[in-house]
Structure 1
Amino acid sequence: MVTTSFKLNNGLQMPAVGLGTWQSQAGEVKTAVSYALQNGYKLIDGAYCYGNEDEVGEGLKEAFAAGVKREDVFVVTKVWATYNTRVAEALDKSLKSLGLETGNHDKFPTLPGGKRDVIHDYNHVDGWKQMEAALASGKTKSIGVSNYSKRYLEQLLPNATVVPAVNQIENHPSLPQQEIVDFCKEKGIHVMAYSPLGSTGSPLMTAEPVVKISEKKGVSAGTVLLSYHVNRGSTVLAKSVTPSRIKSNLEIVTLDDEDMKLLNDYSDDLTKKGELKRYVYPPFGVDFGFPDKSQSRA
């Protein structure tokens, strides 16, 4: 039986598949969110800095008006690095945009030369304390991290009162990040995978093991790649604004041991060749000396 949700360390159930909204265009996000929620999705992933949370909020409102229950929907937002010292303010802005507030161009600020303006000399542990305060305020039910490496988690956990419920990372067979996935599992931190298909131009859709499994199962290569995460025990974010694709992305299939071995062997082979591929490079990242850039950045 295919898993439809995963239990977080705080007891809440997180859906196994969610709709991603990063880079979804204006005029399309509202319809995509509303359609997804009315056709089986229970998880919407976004961020204030994506610049489309107002429209995501409109989609939520439309879906709720159509009968979708608010208590059944898991909505994820994120505090961008420029808000490390203002977590509560960032949360309030997102809640307002999403129409989920309980009570109000700073999204991607840049320096004169065009480089992202990010606070680098701020202790992320202090930022986490503000996240814990936001949880205690009742304005959010769960708190987690994104793009956290094993090293950053090891810095955070000894100083955390609340263990992160989730670590959202780029994840796919050509970037398995097994060390981080295993560490999160050991610590009870649920992994949420973004860019599960790689990215535009990614060879994953035509990779031999993916094609072999898709032919065996009679499903698309995309379904195989999304199912890889659910079968691995992770929530996966599938991004689309096309109704038919939004619906088909929920069609997760069970991958047997042979299927998973094919995909894991593919990952291992890429690792040995030094060909692991990252598609998303957060500008606030720190490379910890991994030349293949296979590790999560924090």
Structure 2
Amino acid sequence: MGSNSIPRIRVGSTSLPVLGFGTAVFPFAASETMKESILHAIKLGYRHFDTAAVYNSEPSLGEAIAEALRLRLITSREGLFITSKLWCSDGHPHLVLPALQTTLQKLGLEYIDLYLIHFPVSLKPGTGYEVPFNKENLVPMDFKCVWEAMEECHRLGLTKNIGVSNFSCKKLDQLLLTSNITPMVNQVEMSPLWQQNKLREFCEKKGIHVVAYSPLGARGTLWGTNQVLDCEILKEIAKARGKTVAQVCLRWVYEQGVSVLVKSYNKERIKENLEIFDWTLSLEDCHKISQISQQKRYHGLEFVWDKGPYKSALEFWDKKI
């Protein structure tokens, strides 16, 4: 399967592969397994790789990219789309540029394609990348000034695009009041069990592309559950179509016009997750999926504290959980 097998979507002046490979594995740590999985994914045709400072996966991804170039699995760095994220402890205007420079150093790259604010909240400077963290270190994020620093990173050419992650409609509205550059992307949890209809509609109106994480429920992570893959409606559709539940989930997200990130270390599943582009869900399938009871998996409770900037999950997400 070649690199042309994953469709790309035009977002502004950028061509974004609609299926990306995620590297968030809890507990967050670099590993040889991760590097080998990334290399295998490149061989199969994945071209979008998602990392973050807090994942500790940037060095493994960087090593895999260098090896892929050496092995000529890719002809140039430009063939890949690399996303990384600004962690909360660096969510201060004077720390944004140094944080991106550190990310580039760990990746061994001169630029990345997309840099995201990981969460709409900051931690006190210098508190590092440990998760879980001490909630006493939570502080409000200065959206205006942090975004200005993100825009500066873009002007310097260190990142081709800038965006956000885990931002609600209300928080995006606040950011857009003072921004000169509209976020290219809002990366959020999305699956058939958390369809994000309101947020997707809002982002479409504002010209912000949605990228979905945890489309399969993030089993095996700090916040994950089996509820997505165990959903009876999805099982029925998968059985009738001769597909896996994971493939049905990924196909459904793709059909919403949303890009999707998926993570696996299993070689067979890495391949299966690619096999979603030569078939479609029926109108009946889509109707059944639209009727699934909605429930958010990731509540972000580590950012909620009665003495912090967000006193409840409702306040953090600006909507009912």
Give the TM-score normalised by structure 2: 0.81
| 1:141 partner SS | coil
In 1, distance between residues paired with 2:96 and 2:138? 13
| 2:44 partner SS | coil
In 1, distance between residues paired with 2:318 and 2:65? 35
From 45, 51, 60, the equivalent of 2:50 is 45
After superposition, what is the alpha-carbon deviation per residue over 1:68-124, rounded to whole angstroms, capped at 9, x for unaligned? 13112100000011111211111111111111036xx9642479xx52565523312
In 2, distance between residues paired with 1:141 and 1:283? 31
Do the aligned residues in 1 keep the contact of 2:300 with 2:313 (CA within 8 Å)? Answer: no
| 2:297 partner SS | coil
Shift of 1:63: 1.2
Do the aligned residues in 1 keep the contact of 2:168 with 2:318 (CA within 8 Å)? Answer: no
Unaligned 5+ residue runs, structure 2? 112-125, 220-224, 305-309
Residue 109 to residue 244, structure 1, CA distance change in 2 (3 Å): closer
Unaligned 5+ residue runs, structure 1? none
Counterpart for residue 272 of structure 2: 248
Counterpart check, 1:203 vs 2:227: yes
**Corresponding letter in the other structure for 1:212:** E
| 1:236 partner SS | strand
Q: Map 1:87-106; keep pairs closer than 5 Å.
A: 87-101=96-110
Residue 239 to residue 287, structure 1, CA distance change in 2 (3 Å): farther
| 1:28 partner SS | helix
Counterpart for residue 40 of structure 2: 35
**Corresponding letter in the other structure for 2:240:** K
In 2, distance between residues paired with 1:161 and 1:61? 34
Q: Map 1:149-188; keep pairs closer than 5 Å.
A: 149-188=168-207
Counterpart for residue 291 of structure 2: 265
Q: Which moved more, 1:147-156 or 1:247-256?
A: 247-256
**Corresponding letter in the other structure for 1:122:** M
Identity over aligned pairs, percent? 32
| Higher relative contact order (Cα pairs below 8 Å, separated by 6+ residues) | 1
In 2, distance between residues paired with 1:287 and 1:210? 35
Shift of 1:51: 1.2
Counterpart check, 1:213 vs 2:237: yes
In 1, distance between residues paired with 2:229 and 2:173? 34
In 1, distance between residues paired with 2:203 and 2:301? 20
In 1, distance between residues paired with 2:39 and 2:136? 33
Counterpart for residue 76 of structure 1: 83
Residue 287 to residue 182, structure 1, CA distance change in 2 (3 Å): farther
Shift of 1:288: 6.9
Do the aligned residues in 1 keep the contact of 2:211 with 2:258 (CA within 8 Å)? Answer: yes
Counterpart for residue 23 of structure 1: 25
**Corresponding letter in the other structure for 1:206:** D
- Count of aligned pairs: 283
Do the aligned residues in 1 keep the contact of 2:6 with 2:46 (CA within 8 Å)? Answer: no
Residue 249 to residue 125, structure 1, CA distance change in 2 (3 Å): same
